[in-house]
Amino acid sequence: MGSKTQTGIIMGVANQRSLATGIATQLHAQGARMGFSYLPDTSGKMQHRVEKAIEGFPSLFLEPCNVGADADIQAFFQKAQSYTPTIDFLLHSIAFAPLEDIRCPTVEASRQGFLTAMDISVYSFIATAKHAATLMPNGGSILTLSYFGGEKVVAGYNLMGVAKAALEAAVRYLAYDLGPKNIRVNAISAGVMKTLAASAVGDFSQMLGSHAATAPLQRNVTLEEIGNTAAFLLSPAGSGITGEVVHVDGGYHIMGSPSRACEKKEA
């Protein structure tokens, strides 16, 4: 990861399976120092789960942040600054839409469901990037997580596909805005992984099967593979890359016909 120790913020760990946990694991292996956020709940369960997920890393801090509230985001970054005056990277690995608005055809989604999906899954990226940038006087790297359903229709992904399309556009506009400050902004379009957020997607098991059958690599990707690419993009090794959506999906997105598996069945 270069000579200087990298310091950054990880937002979006829910448990051991979270993409953010896999990414933090690889960043830790590369020597990075990290502070974490968690989504607070009244029972304190969420904090406990996140504590467990990150117990393998010596974390700088673990502080609450509900990205649906500006005051929370502001308070979180203020606290982060009290632990570390500057950072080199921010990982945003957060998405949410009400179940009833993604389990229905997109044409049936409610106004409120749309606003919530865009707020938590897209605006939060813009808002956290803005705060993170103030802690990056020497430049830095910001990364978010997207999915192929933002480019093409994936049955069952529905409203979240609309949000991911907006997220990927936000990556490009933020890359333009923050480029003069030497801050890079990218996304990983990840292959499917069984996580808490993924369980909200109706046809998820089917998606896992069809991705593995269709992808040129003929399998689903691993958390480690997503983590490795993320750690690369968040480190100075990715210094020439910004505004990019990097697919870590076994090549699934290049396919224009179903798969070899189907060809075999028909033969």
Residues annotated catalytic, as ranges: 147, 157
Provide the minimum distance between the beta carbon of 192 and ligand NAD in the complex, in angstroms, as a whole number.
Answer: 4
Lookup: tokens for 153: 């229709």
Provide the minimum distance between the beta carbon of 196 and ligand NAD in the complex, in angstroms, as a whole number.
Answer: 3
β strands within 133-180, DSSP E: 140-146
Provide the minimum distance between the beta carbon of 203 and ligand NAD in the complex, in angstroms, as a whole number.
Answer: 12
Report the interface residues with ligand NAD, using CB under 6 A. Answer: 12-14, 18-20, 39, 65-68, 93-96, 120, 145-147, 190, 192-193, 195-198
Lookup: tokens for 236: 């100075």
Closest listed residue to residue 23, CA positions, set 41, 45, 40, 6: 6
Asked if residues 122 and 67 have their Cβ atoms less than 8 Å apart, the reply is: no
- CB nearer to ligand NAD: give 27 or 145: 145
By CB atoms closer than 10 A (0-12, 13-18, 19+), residue 215 is buried
Report the distance separating Cα 202 and Cα 47, nearest Å: 27
Lookup: tokens for 124: 């939060």
Provide the minimum distance between the beta carbon of 266 and ligand NAD in the complex, in angstroms, as a whole number.
Answer: 29
By CB atoms closer than 10 A (0-12, 13-18, 19+), residue 70 is exposed
Specify which residues 142 forms β-bridges with.
90, 185
